[in-house]
């Protein structure tokens, strides 16, 4: 009872058409994925270029920061000296004030 299965031309043509549809869908899907990957890689390249630019800007800002820090340290040292002088003057005034108060008594 072996049967032979024959493919008629119409069913064979519909099979080929179905295969072409599936193939085109898969091919379009792969194209879409490829374009997404290419876009992602482009964005990564742009981001890395942006990072390099920001690194250069950061180095420049670090130089300015270092200079500003040095200036602030100089000003703080000057203020410390001025505060010491003011404290000495304040102590002298306090001594003179105490002497004046003691002389009144």
Q: What is the pTM of this model?
A: 0.52
Angle at 45 between CA 40 and CA 48, to 5 degrees: 125
Residue 15 CB contacts under 8 Å (≥ 6 apart), including other chains: 7
Cα distance between residue 35 and residue 40, in whole Å: 8
Predicted confidence (pLDDT) per residue in 39-98, tens digit:
999 999 999 999 999 999 999 999 999 999 999 999 999 999 999 999 999 999 989 888
The whole-angstrom separation of Cα 92 and Cα 19 is 104
Asked if pLDDT for residue 105 goes beyond 70, the answer is: no
Neighbours of 100 (CB within 10 A): 9
- Residue 7: which residues within 8 A CB-CB, separation 6 or more? 15
């Amino acid at each position: 009872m072996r049967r032979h299965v024959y493919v008629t031309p119409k069913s064979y043509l519909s099979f080929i058409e179905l295969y072409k549809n599936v193939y085109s869908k898969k091919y379009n899907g792969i194209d879409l994925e490829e374009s997404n990957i290419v876009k992602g890689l482009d964005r990564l390249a742009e981001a890395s270029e942006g990072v390099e630019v920001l690194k250069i800007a950061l180095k420049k800002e670090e130089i300015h920061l270092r200079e500003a820090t040095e200036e602030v340290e100089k000003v703080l040292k000057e203020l410390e000296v001025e505060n010491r002088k003011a404290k000495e003057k304040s102590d002298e005034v306090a001594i003179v004030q105490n002497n004046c108060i003691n002389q009144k008594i």
